[in-house]
Structure 1
Amino acid sequence: MTHKSKSWTRIKNLGKIKKDLDLAKLFKKDDTRGRSFNASIADLELDFSKSIISKKALLEFEKLAKELNLQSKIFDLLQGKIANNTEKRSVGHVWLRSKNFRPKSILGVSEIDAVQTSFLDFSDKVRAGVIKGFTGEHFTDVVNIGIGGSDLGPAMVYQALGYSHDGKIKCHYVSNIDELEISTVLRKLNPAKTLIVVTSKTFTTSETLKNAAYAKNWLVQSLGDIATKFHFVAISANSRESQKFGIEPDKIFPFWDWVGGRFSLLSSVGLSIAIGYGSEVFTALQKGASKVDQTLTIIDYKTNAAFIHAVINIWNLNILKLNSLAVIPYSSALSRFPAYLQQLWMESNGKSVDKQGRAVKLATCPIIFGEPGTNSQHSFFQLLHQGTNVIPVEFIIVKENQGRDSLFHKSLIANALAQSFVLAFGKSKKELKEEKTVDDLISHKEMKGNRPSMILTIPKVDAVNLGELIAFYETSVIIQGLLLNINSFDQWGVELGKKTAEKMLNALQNDEKLDFDSGTNNQIKGFRN
């Protein structure tokens, strides 16, 4: 158990040394900190110099990883041993993009290449106009219907790469069980030129099926029942239910139960990306992710950015008692990345029991939020600088200017660096007095600083680097889960909510006696009228 290990005891004791919890003092003590507190993974660079952590603490986390056999646990995961113990499943999203890790003994692994060839060939034929709609029209639009991992990842990538790729076919993403969302998307489209991709592992997800039925009705009203065979595709492990819906067997692309929804982006779930931007873009995403995957087999704890990122987040949560995290991409292309990361991280590690079902003794996951910079500076950064809650910040910046005007890009980077600097060092009363600030305003303008942040730099927003960014956070989340001895691959809280919603829907649709709490009963009565 992590909290009982010798290394964790030493880590806790290091958290009591106040001089090592002051960024100004840490930088003054070590003039190489700005260079030495940097690590890389693939083409990504992590600057953690403004994290409130000492070299000694990082060394103790290395010892903790060895004491808890982290490397052995990663090997077990890669080899297909049960990692999702509550559902008795292997965890194999890495196998989708890194052939060298594929175990021969796991059911479905031998099918990976054939399935990928099949759905990428389909995407190429749609783009080339070989596969057409019922009336013989070329497809101009794709509507991806899914929720959670079937939506957040593909939608994030499609937006991110839209700045550097002219989408030959436009992709639209529908997830919420809100008629306004799907009706707004569909009313702008021509049914004869629209391909609908229904993404659901089980093909039983209520939100997805409700939206799929709505889209089917929209299509059939215009083109007739037979059009379903031409205009619908399923991404699902449940071929039987997909066919019952009316989808042709050759338009059903599977993925496996060892691919969790929030880790499924680089499976057939990413079909919309391949149709929108081309199969070569999809495989470039996989190439980038694989570059990070290759670091899993031998983790150099001193230099591996994903490991360092993981342990600093554990430190922030449990030693500094900072329970939130702001993720701020200084790139409009990455504006949907925080939402994607919320599911990846919070659904994975938002757990209160360990793998053995015992109540955890350590905090497991921060509350994650974020918006792009510089927009976020003008919304919630006031709280980050002067609020009563200290919230660590992760800045994601892009090295290469992908626009035409270099001043735009330099201004963007300058703002990110300025925020990191001010969070760390603030503005003292002494400095304000020296600047002849009016006395009545000094306390209002004072910024005490010592607020931690990290800067993650990616070379540019292209498919390879985006694949690396995705795999970087996947790796960090998994390492955190392994060190904390929690199951990062189930989501029972989500499942209970789904089942309870079914009961609520039944209650709203009939006049039977209600037996919920009085508050819920009152709400239901209000909607029955």
Structure 2
Amino acid sequence: MSSTLNKNTSHLPGTAITAVDVVLDTAYQNISTAQWKKLFTAAKEAAIPQFIVDIFAGKPINQSENRPALHSALRNLSKTPVVLDGKDVMPAVADVWRRIEALCNKWVGVTDVIHIGIGGSDFGPRLAIEALAHVPGIESHGMRMHFLANIDTAELARILAKALPHSTRVIIVSKSFTTLETSMNAKAVVTWLKDSGLTNRQINKALYAVTANVPATKIFGVEEDHIFPFWAWVGGRYSVWSAVGLPIALQYGYKTFEKFLAGAHAMDLHFRDAPLEENLPVIMALALLHQQEKHKIKAYAAIPYADALDWFPKWLQQLDMESNGKSIGKDGKAVKHSSPVVFGSAGSNAQHSYFQLFHQGPEIIPIDFIAVRKPMSERHEALAHHRILLSNCLAQAQALAHGKDATNPNDVYPGKRPSNLLLLPELNAFYLGALLALYENRVATLGALWNINSFDQPGVEYGKVLAKPIEKALSSGSQDIQANDFIDAVTAARINFLNSQ
């Protein structure tokens, strides 16, 4: 495998490749040069180069919904025209940037922001707010950022117990503005504002929305100049780059949000322009495909050795499994491979949780180790602690790769457990953006390799359909619910039990 090494990686073996100063080292993937050549040949046979061209050209690669996947336009800071149906989308995107920047300069005296959304409307901004809070010296407006996603009122109650109603702003995020959890939580927060003595006018001034359904948002009571649009060509799990990322700009300033977009844009340009053999998202996708073919892996882990990135695996779970967790391909036929189960949490905590399984379990579980070269605090202990953190990261990768022989079977480490090392020069808005875009582009590449449409999610709908008659049965209070076309005998018995309490 060829490599493009800069001063940060010139001392590393030829398995290390860099893009946007993010280093990917595949040394422990145990993939030979001959095997890499076969993988790149397979990528070309799967028309990955043309697929990448089609993504950025706005072709309807989301075939089931006949839509493009143009989230890259949301971070296209160069404003290079992106034409869809004969019209450049960039003026509309740039107008949202202008409005976000203007809003950052308007909010004064705000103590609390309640961001209401679920799934893709929640994970991205929540991850970014949590991660950037750890950046030493970052500008912050010091507001309490509350993320309300779960329909469980425990989360709602916890937030409302802390927020100050007269200095709270509410951002309702829903592409369709019909998402049940978001709608009910929004209504509950409005009720809280009313019960706290706010007038209707004050409540309207406190409400903001991010949506593709502007009419429904107006009916709810959000003023038109408080509505930030995003578009049908933006998938929910790819939407943090849109006004869905408002909390990032509001908390850390528009310039920080712009740097977040810039890092992602830089990674997009790399993905678009780099040859396959030097293309980080493609290489990561091919490495995972190789482990599926060789070891029939069913899971992989993402372990960031940075406490600031503890939310990253949760964001990645949705990105990977909602995008590629499918058994039917674009041709309507069963696929050979699909998304593995994704899990992870911050190292070194994770070592004291489930690394036992990595080292001595019968399954082979590939790992992406993610590390940051610079410490994430300015405390006097930071450098010493960070050396220990990095040494643990490197040691775990080495131990998993090589294993250990012993006369006592309990002390044997099989080894040959594959892993990547992703190394960020530091963790800031730019490199966070680059990291997220790297994985987004890797997911798209995997979908193309598996012949899966990565940009729809039909599997999440069926449970929602069944929940409606079940909720109606629970609301009835009846203990005589019978099985029918929507409720089977087991569920009917459970409803009757719950209604008997």
Q: Shorter-chain TM-score: what band?
A: over 0.9
The amino acid of 1:167's aligned partner reads S
Q: Aligned residue for 2:191? A: 217
Q: Secondary structure of 1:470's match?
A: helix
Give the superposition deviation at 1:318.
2.7
Q: Secondary structure of 2:256's match?
A: helix
- Aligned ranges for residues 343-492 of structure 1 at < 5 Å? 343-360=318-335, 362-403=336-377, 404=379, 405-429=382-406, 442-492=408-458
| Residues 329, 453 of structure 2: 8 Å contact kept | yes
Corresponding residue to 2:471 among 494, 497, 505: 505
Q: Secondary structure of 2:27's match?
A: coil
Give the superposition deviation at 1:69.
2.0
Query: 57-66 vs 328-337, which deviates more?
Result: 57-66
Q: Aligned residue for 2:99? A: 118
- Aligned ranges for residues 2-401 of structure 1 at < 5 Å? 35-98=13-76, 99-100=79-80, 102-103=82-83, 105-106=86-87, 108-126=89-107, 129=108, 138-164=109-135, 165=138, 167-168=140-141, 169-222=143-196, 223-360=198-335, 362-401=336-375
The amino acid of 2:140's aligned partner reads G
| Residues 80, 106 of structure 1: 8 Å contact kept | no
Query: 518-527 vs 198-207, which deviates more?
Result: 518-527
The amino acid of 1:179's aligned partner reads T
Q: Secondary structure of 1:80's match?
A: coil
| Residues 83, 89 of structure 2: 8 Å contact kept | no
| Residues 82, 89 of structure 2: 8 Å contact kept | no
Q: Secondary structure of 1:100's match?
A: coil
Give the superposition deviation at 1:101.
5.9
Query: 471-480 vs 111-120, which deviates more?
Result: 111-120
CA distance, structure 1, for counterparts of residue 89 and residue 62 of structure 2: 17
Give the superposition deviation at 1:83.
0.9
Give the superposition deviation at 1:303.
1.7
- Alpha-carbon deviations, 1:40-89, whole Å to 9, x = none? 22121011110132111111121122222211122122111111111111
Q: Secondary structure of 1:35's match?
A: coil
- Alpha-carbon deviations, 1:92-136, whole Å to 9, x = none? 10011123361252575441111221122112311xx2xxxxxxx
CA distance, structure 1, for counterparts of residue 124 and residue 473 of structure 2: 34
- Alpha-carbon deviations, 1:444-487, whole Å to 9, x = none? 11112111111100111100000000110011011111122110
Give the superposition deviation at 1:250.
0.5
Question: After TM superposition, where is structure 1 displaced by more than 4 Å over at least 4 residues in a row?
Answer: 106-109
The amino acid of 1:173's aligned partner reads F
Query: 351-360 vs 62-71, which deviates more?
Result: 62-71
CA distance, structure 2, for counterparts of residue 298 and residue 402 of structure 1: 32
Query: 114-123 vs 175-184, which deviates more?
Result: 114-123
Gaps of 5+ in 1: 1-31, 130-137, 434-441
The amino acid of 1:151's aligned partner reads D
- Evaluate the alpha carbon distance shift between residue 33 and residue 413 of structure 1 in structure 2; reply closer, same or farther with a 3 A threshold: closer
- Evaluate the alpha carbon distance shift between residue 186 and residue 386 of structure 1 in structure 2; reply closer, same or farther with a 3 A threshold: same
| Residues 507, 514 of structure 1: 8 Å contact kept | no
Gaps of 5+ in 2: 1-9
- Alpha-carbon deviations, 1:242-276, whole Å to 9, x = none? 11111111101000000000000110000011111
Q: Secondary structure of 1:233's match?
A: strand
The amino acid of 2:264's aligned partner reads A
Give the superposition deviation at 1:412.
0.2
Query: 253-262 vs 92-101, which deviates more?
Result: 92-101
CA distance, structure 2, for counterparts of residue 101 and residue 392 of structure 1: 39
The amino acid of 2:276's aligned partner reads Y
Q: Secondary structure of 2:265's match?
A: helix
Corresponding residue to 1:527 among 480, 495, 498: 498
- Evaluate the alpha carbon distance shift between residue 270 and residue 221 of structure 1 in structure 2; reply closer, same or farther with a 3 A threshold: same
Q: Secondary structure of 2:184's match?
A: helix
Identity %: 37
Count of residue pairs the alignment pairs up: 476
The amino acid of 1:320's aligned partner reads H
Give the superposition deviation at 1:227.
2.2
Q: Secondary structure of 2:41's match?
A: helix
The amino acid of 1:46's aligned partner reads L
Compute the TM-score of the two structures, normalised by the length of structure 2: 0.92
| Residues 426, 449 of structure 1: 8 Å contact kept | yes
Q: Secondary structure of 1:46's match?
A: strand
CA distance, structure 2, for counterparts of residue 402 and residue 371 of structure 1: 17
Give the superposition deviation at 1:160.
0.2
Give the superposition deviation at 1:503.
2.3
The amino acid of 1:526's aligned partner reads F
| Residues 271, 280 of structure 2: 8 Å contact kept | no
The amino acid of 1:118's aligned partner reads R
CA distance, structure 1, for counterparts of residue 72 and residue 114 of structure 2: 27
Q: Aligned residue for 2:7? A: none
**Superposed CA RMSD:** 1.6
Compute the TM-score of the two structures, normalised by the length of structure 1: 0.87
Query: 72-81 vs 293-302, which deviates more?
Result: 293-302
CA distance, structure 2, for counterparts of residue 262 and residue 102 of structure 1: 21
| Residues 120, 271 of structure 1: 8 Å contact kept | no
Q: Secondary structure of 2:114's match?
A: strand
CA distance, structure 2, for counterparts of residue 287 and residue 212 of structure 1: 32
